[in-house]
A and B are shown apart, each in its own frame.
Chain A
Amino acid sequence: AQKITQTQPGMFVQEKEAVTLDCTYDTSDQSYGLFWYKQPSSGEMIFLIYQGSYDEQNATEGRYSLNFQKARKSANLVISASQLGDSAMYFCAMRYTGGFKTIFGAGTRLFVKA
């Protein structure tokens, strides 16, 4: 069965510094996708970044990058140059390629300090 683990319930980071949000997953499938979503206090869910299990390069989207280590089954999100607007809940998620069900982790609440 699929499982996503986010071990950091809350994290603090100083503005302009980089921060890494941890995500580990458990799956027996070889082909899957990994996702990160952001949920600010306003409540909407915002897609940030996607990594396919067969992608050789780590995914990057602007200040977001996904540190994918397949052997360790980890998919950490790195946010560079943190901004106050990055304060939010961040969810890691996974779905089998071709599947319909996405499993979400419990989330990490990030606080960016001025």
Chain B
Amino acid sequence: DTAVSQTPKYLVTQMGNDKSIKCEQNLGHDTMYWYKQDSKKFLKIMFSYNNKELIINETVPNRFSPKSPDKAHLNLHINSLELGDSAVYFCASRGTYEQYFGPGTRLTVT
């Protein structure tokens, strides 16, 4: 069983569109994250939820809206996509110490 899964794995879309990325973890963790990895491989935290409550909201355009319907799910919705949103987006859940990452979603905005 996959511990942290994301869908879709690849997402190609045009500027101005709205898209969502879904994330699910079956590890029973309370805390989940969204990260953005840019073309230079820099990994930046975007959001974190703990028990469905938003606890970290970094300086992210409000076009990005996370949603956690339950502890096992953390989705990311992006409105009015821009070229600069092209990146790999990782979902992660946190155990006692380490984080478990999903496989990533490569978003390409054309």
Interface residues of A (CB under 8 A from B): 33, 35, 37, 39, 43-47, 50, 52, 89, 91, 100-104, 106-107
The contact sample of 27 A-B pairs, CB cut-off 8 A, is: A33-B97, A35-B97, A35-B98, A37-B101, A43-B88, A44-B103, A44-B104, A45-B90, A45-B92, A45-B99, A45-B101, A45-B104, A46-B101, A47-B99, A47-B100, A50-B97, A50-B98, A89-B41, A100-B31, A100-B55, A100-B56, A101-B56, A102-B99, A104-B42, A106-B41, A106-B42, A107-B42
Consensus secondary structure, chain A interface: strand
Seed contacts A91-B43, A104-B42; 18 additional CB < 8 Å A-B pairs: A33-B97, A35-B99, A37-B101, A44-B101, A45-B99, A47-B100, A100-B48, A100-B50, A100-B56, A101-B45, A101-B56, A102-B33, A102-B45, A104-B43, A104-B44, A106-B40, A106-B42, A107-B43
In the assembled complex, which residues on chain B have CB atoms less than 8 Å from the CB atom of A91? 43
A91 to B40, CA, bound (A): 13
Give Cα A44 to B2, complex, Å.
13
For residue B41, give the distance in angstroms from its CB to the closest CB of chain A: 5
Binary contact track B55-67/A, C-beta < 8 Å → 1, others 0: 1100000000000
In the complex, what residues of A have CB within 8 A of residue B42's CB? 104, 106-107
Count residues of chain B with CB under 8 A from any CB of chain A: 24
